[in-house]
Structure 1
């Protein structure tokens, strides 16, 4: 019983601290990053092309940069 009330309280805190749906300036969707990089994967159908977030509109994307060139 102790844990269930803790879960309810935690849920309520997260729910009540959410964004106001009428004010997108505070919690609206972040802008997509704008960049493009050459696809170096030889088995990719876009190999050799410059692709970026705009290539994958309406899809969930994840960006991973394992090292930096600098």
Structure 2
């Protein structure tokens, strides 16, 4: 179980992550670029996995067709 550090601000306990998002440094372009890069990497990884599955499915179909044609030739 993850525990985020909490700090007391005013009467509320808030996570550091919540407060950090309000600090201008963390809203800067460098951080948003990193965030975008991570997002892009995730999407690319998903795309690769989908492509791999498609290729594998096509390969299996072609193998089945070859097996059927071999049976007909006999």
The TM-score, its normalising length taken from structure 1, stands at: 0.30
Higher relative contact order (Cα pairs below 8 Å, separated by 6+ residues)? 1
Q: Who wins on radius of gyration, i.e. which is larger? A: 2
- Normalized per residue, the structure richer in helix is 2
- Normalized per residue, the structure richer in strand is 2
